[in-house]
Amino acid sequence: MLILVLSDIHANLEALDAVLDDAPAVGETWVIGDIVGYGPEPDEVVERLRERGVIAVRGNHDAAAIGGDEIDYFNEDARRAMLWTRTVISDRTRAWLTALPERVVREGFTLAHGSPRDPIWEYVTTTPVARASFDAMATDHGVIGHTHRPAAYLNDDGVMSFMTPAEGSQLVFGTRRVLLNAGSVGQPRDGINTAAWMTLDTEAGTATWQRSAYDIAAVQAAMRRVALPAFLRDRLAYGG
């Protein structure tokens, strides 16, 4: 089956729609958390995902949006954006976010926002942390988000390696143990300002990373209209 993997959409509907326009027809869409927070259109993003019947897990921003004390750990800009998000989301959005699990096992993959070990908060940015994630998951393969940077960690019988996929990169993993990060749709932080996404072909055992350009200025204008923090607007332009 071909699977579309989206992570860290962060209420950026322009970016999400650009990705959905570019993506091939797929059997399933997996969403690896942080669906809301930072961006200007949380209800619209959730509605799009609901219509599509996605399989999704909860991120730290989703947990905060439904009232969780995760907000206490946010920096000032993230906190301001989250307080706004809490006031605008509909009951329907809140109920959908509340129903999200922290982990899902599907097609031989563990789906978790931060890491399989600590789904809400842990950042997998080093091979020792990745190794701990492999130890914490029952499947050979995992999909994560949270860092907003595309990445792949490989574990060949305990020998760890790492790659930073570029646009168009394909990894043939087959039966090897891998932990894959699609990057962020709505707020990339790898120095590239286009929306990041990934497809998985579970029969071929391949992952392919892609990018989609979107109307950044339109999102910034929408953020300005609702007075979201300037830094959160500005960073979209440089992908940092």
Applying CB under 5 A, which residues contact Zn ion?
A: 8, 34
Q: Decide whether 207 or 232 has the Cβ nearer to Zn ion.
A: 232
Least Å from the CB of residue 186 to Zn ion: 8
Task: State in angstroms the smallest separation of the CB of 183 from Zn ion.
Answer: 11
**Beta carbon of residue 113, minimum distance to Zn ion (angstroms, whole number):** 8
Rg (CA), the chain: 17
170-177 long-range contacts, CB within 8 A, separation 24+: 170/206, 170/207, 170/208, 170/209, 171/206, 171/207, 171/208, 172/204, 172/205, 172/206, 173/141, 173/205, 173/206, 173/207, 174/205, 175/140, 175/205, 176/140, 177/134, 177/140, 177/141
Hey, how many other C-beta atoms are within 10 angstroms of the C-beta on 9? 35
CB nearer to Zn ion: pick between 8 and 41: 8
What does the alpha-carbon distance between residue 234 and residue 223 come to, in Å, rounded to a whole number? 10
CB of 174 to Zn ion, least distance (A): 30
Closest-by-Cβ residue to Zn ion is: 34
Question: Which CB, 137 or 182, lies closer to Zn ion?
Answer: 182
Query: What is the closest distance, in whole angstroms, from the C-beta atom of residue 146 to Zn ion in the complex?
Result: 6
Scanning the structure block, which residue is given the tokens 């439904």? Answer: 66
Q: How far apart are alpha carbons 115 and 133 in whole angstroms? A: 6
Nearer to Zn ion, 39 or 177 (CB): 39
Which residue, 34 or 41, is less far from Zn ion as judged by CB? 34
How far are the Cα atoms of 1, 194, 214, 238 from residue 225, in angstroms, in the given order? 41, 22, 19, 21
Q: Which is nearer to Zn ion, 19 or 154 (CB)?
A: 19
Instruction: Tell me the closest approach of the beta carbon of residue 145 to Zn ion, in angstroms.
Output: 7
